[in-house]
Structure formats: C-alpha cells, structure tokens
Structure 1
Amino acid sequence: MHVGILGYELDDFESVELTQDGRHLGHETSLFVLDDVSCRSSARTGVEPLIAGEPVSKFDIILSRAQIRPEATQLDYDRYALLCHVEGVTVLDPADTYLEAESKFLGLQRLAAIGLPIAPTRSCSSLAEIQEAIDDWEHVVLKPSFGLGGVDVERIFNLADGRAAAERLLRKYRLLVCQPYFPHPQGDVRVTVVGDQAPLIVNRVPAASNWKANVNMGATATAITADPELVGISKRAAAAMGVTVAGLDFLPTKEGYKIVEFNNTPCWCFADEAERRHLVETVFEVAETIHRSSC
C-alpha cells in the first residue's frame, strides 16, 4: 500500500517512526506536512489535491498527526480537508473529526454527555471568572482549548501571585479552559488507544522541578497494567470522538480517576523499542482493516 504520514512536523519523532516502520512493513510510505498540500485544476475531477506536487489519488491511506496551528486554523483546515474527499483514499482521521478532537472544550463536553468521568471544567474569559473558579475550587489550572505538550498550562493558587500568568494567557487566547488542580505527585495515567485496542499504558510522574506530567518537561513514563475500567473508558472515549489513535490522560481524585484531557496526537517516544514497535504495527493493522472495509 502507498501510505502518507501527515506529520506534526517533518522531524516529529512519532511521524518519522511511523514512516520508517511503515517501510519496514512493506508499504510505500511518505512523510509530509500540511504546508505540502495544494491543488490544481483537473479535467477529470475539477479540483485535484496534491501532496508535494503529486496527486493525492496515488495514496491508499493517509495517517494524520497534523498540526492545526491556532494562528492558521482556517488555512490548515482547508489543506487538511482537501485530502479527505478523494475517491479510494482513506484518511485517518478526517479533517472535521480531527479538528473537533483538537478542542478540549468539545472533547470533554462529548465525553461527559455519554457519562464518562471528566474533571470539572469551565471556561474563563476574565480575571473575575478565574477568581470565581478559585473561590469554588481553591487551586486551578488554566490552559488553551487548542494546545498540547503542557505549553501555556498554568497552575494558579491565587490571583495575587498568579495574575501575570493569567493575564498573559487571557491576552493570548481570550477564552481559557479552567479545571481544579488535582495534586498528583505519583503522576497521571496515559492510556493510548488504537482502534479498539490499548497497546500502551503508562504512569507519567512529574520531575521534581515541575508539577506537570509531561515527558517533554522532564516527567518519567513507565509502562503499567492499567485498571481495566480505565482501558474501557478510554476505548469508549475514542469511539465517541471517532478518533483512531488517541491518548487519554487520567488524574487521581478523591472521587476516583478523572479524564483531564483527550489527545488525538499522542506521543510514544518515551516507550521502549518493543512497546513502540507493537504500537506502530497496531496502527498499521487498524488502518489497513479500515481501508479494506471502505473499498
């Protein structure tokens, strides 16, 4: 099969590994980014989408880890959507599904609607609303609805000390996701779902110098056998969002584990080689099954 890997960036670890392992599995595999997508007039189809000048119709499957940039959302969505309406080409996941999954607000709303245990969540567009959240929850976490990797995620204990951080985020994003802060010195649980399987489950423990359980910020990740309930919740969440490869982040609370985020571009660079190989092979197996069923 001819498989395209729509990468977050050309040097994104997971995108590169998908490309290399796809070739080892016998696929003709190409890595590209949204900036490589364009279109031209076509006598047969009217408008023909291209990837780096080559027709998208040459591909069988496109696996997406696309970067939808906040400052270029419309342009990125247009380029992405061009890929999704080519006969015979399976895109995982389609642009509309992917864009909706990028939104933390929408993701949590949809998961709560089917009864999954999300962390309490509200929006804040002013210091007054942030203060109300602090009054209700004591300590809060603020972050953008579109974002990943722990970037621009701030813990606010009180506005006397956290005003500058809160004002910076409000200026940059205007509307923020606000959740109570749940202390997690023993880390969180990340369940990676591929189709109806959960090939990688890890406990991520923050570094001593950082409260965030993000590997790119020094957290350590150790493979664990998760509670079957968390695996079941994660599979239900991915199915509800229509996402093929997803990462569910759970934090422990007094009321049990709560989903704090749904991720549609989960990383696995921290896993060992055997774990990564198993995950990537599962991605290709699921993608091939979906493609064959659509033909």
Structure 2
Amino acid sequence: MKHRIAIVADRLGWEERRLIEAAPAAGIDAEWVNDESLGLGHRDAPAVRDHDLLLIRSRSYTRGGLAATLAEADGARVLNTASAIHTCENKLALRAVLRAAEIPVPDFRLVLSRKDYGRALEELGAPLVLKPVHGGMGKRVALVRDPDLAHSLYDYVEDLGHAFEQACLAEEYLGGGSVRCLVIGREIAAAAEFESAGTDWRSNAALGNRSRALGQDPEVRKVVDGVVDLLGPGIYGVDLFRTPDGYLVNEVNHAPAWRGVDSTTEADIASSVLRYVQEVLG
C-alpha cells in the first residue's frame, strides 16, 4: 500500500521540493499543503482525512504547533509531535527544559523590559547576544559589543516590536562557529560545522556561511541523545556551540533547513527523512 503524506509548510522551499521529488522512490505519495489552507478544527478536515501523516515544516513561529495540536487531537499522525514543536518554537521554553534535564546550554536571561536588559548586561557582560524568543534563520539577532551603545539598540526593540516580539533572550557571546546536527529518528544523519563569513558574525547555515563536514564525535552524540530523550524521536536540527568545557545546545529546530548540511556532507537527507516516515507509518 502506497502511503500518502502532506508536507505542511507556509511555502514550497528547497527542502520541501527535494522531499516531493524523492517520495516516489520511497513508495510515498507526497504533496505540499499550504498551512494557511488546512481547515483544521473538525474531524473531517481533508488534511487529516486524506493523508496518512502530516509532516509539519511550517516556518511560522506559531502555525506549526497549532496545526500539529489540532491534527493530533483528530487522530492524525504528525511529525514532529505537537509537544516537541511547541517546545522548540519558544527558545526560552526550550532552554528551560533542557537545563532542567541537565543538558548543557549557554548562560541566558529572559528580557521583557529595559530593566531586565540592564540586569542581563550587568550579569553577563559584553559582548552579549540579544535574540527574540520566537524566530529563526539568524533574523533579528544582535551582537552587543559596546556597553555604551547597548541601550540605544534596545530602543529599536521597544519602538519597533509588538509586545509578542519584545520578549527576548540575552545570552553570553561564545564566538566561533556552530555545529548543526540533522537528527532523523534517534540518529544523526549528518553534521556540519559552520563559521561566520565576511563581516557577519552569525554562524548560521541560512546565511551562507562557510561549512565543513563533521565526523562522528562521541561528545556530540551524547548531547544529541539527551535532546532526543527529552523531545522524543523526530526530525530536528540541533545547533551546538563548541566551548573549552564541551558542547552547549543553542537551539533545536523542529522544521530544519538542511541544504547547507546536505551539500557539505553529501548526505541524501530527503531520502533518510522519507525512510523514517515509512518507519513511523509501519
């Protein structure tokens, strides 16, 4: 029996195209379903009724978790689970649960006001990274190098952001690059190390930074295992910082982009994702 899956996303990007192209060879009929047209909320929604599984790849800060919650409640199989998506969507919620599980994360502070921001500057010092609680792909992330200019930068947070966007995370700046691990099920399908390119200090694959393949590393494996134990098996992009004291988890993406890792490691990630989908569907 040929399984039919919906790739739920706000747009048809490179990764979604690769999944649709590779699906026939995996014995799967895959189609893109715009997350703006799901019509969820009743048990006979076509997105649930007509598909064996919903692969949630919404890049929205809220759509993915809402769609997964409703689809699961109506009996659909969903990847990733609603619980995992909700945890990953909120950087501070993720940091909190990781730290409670004794999975190493950078030192951080919640910033909801200028008073919070001033305290974070005092306790963490400069340089300091200020980023939105909800967001990804390196957007609206600022490196505060100069304490004298720090509060001028915060003017933009206060004046340009809505209340939802003003919730920020402040963290120590660790410098260097980052490691992106593509996790499928419980396994690391591929890993690459990214370094900032040119004058942009952000080491993010979506920004086109330099990268190199990373071999098997027991320390990376241990940290990633802890993340998967906490969130449950799924499809994740686990971003790590390398420090003299070991690896720290920066973020976990529930709808990871993998073009950079794919090209760096020559891994066929789309086929690996589809094999895992078959596994889940039995």
Bin of the TM-score, shorter chain as denominator length: 0.7 to 0.9
The CA deviation at 1:164 is 3.4
| Long gaps (5+) in structure 2 | none
- The match for 2:4 is 2
Q: Quote the Cα distance in structure 1 between the aligned partners of 2:166 and 2:148.
A: 20
Task: State the one-letter code of the partner of 1:64.
Answer: I
Q: Quote the Cα distance in structure 2 between the aligned partners of 1:161 and 1:245.
A: 40
- The match for 2:150 is 162
Within-5 A mapping of 1:1-295: 1-7=3-9, 9-39=10-40, 47-51=43-47, 56-69=48-61, 73=62, 77-87=65-75, 89-138=76-125, 139-171=127-159, 172=161, 173-184=165-176, 187-242=177-232, 244-270=234-260, 271-272=262-263, 275-277=266-268, 279-292=269-282
Task: State the one-letter code of the partner of 2:170.
Answer: C
Task: State the one-letter code of the partner of 1:98.
Answer: I
| Long gaps (5+) in structure 1 | 41-45
The CA deviation at 1:95 is 2.9
Answer whether contact 2:15 2:270 (CA < 8 A) is retained. no
| Range with greater deviation from structure 2 (199-208 or 256-265) | 256-265
RMSD after superposition? 2.2
The CA deviation at 1:79 is 4.2
The CA deviation at 1:77 is 4.9
CA deviations over 1:248-269 (Å, ceiling 9, x no partner): 2111234222112122122111
Percent of paired sites with the same residue: 20
Answer whether contact 1:6 1:15 (CA < 8 A) is retained. no
CA deviations over 1:122-168 (Å, ceiling 9, x no partner): 10122332222222222210111111000000011234223333222
Task: State the one-letter code of the partner of 2:24.
Answer: R
SS in 2 for 1:203: strand
Q: Quote the Cα distance in structure 1 between the aligned partners of 2:211 and 2:32.
A: 27
Using CA pairs below 8 Å that are at least 6 residues apart, which structure has the higher relative contact order? 2
Q: Quote the Cα distance in structure 2 between the aligned partners of 1:170 and 1:288.
A: 47
The CA deviation at 1:29 is 0.9
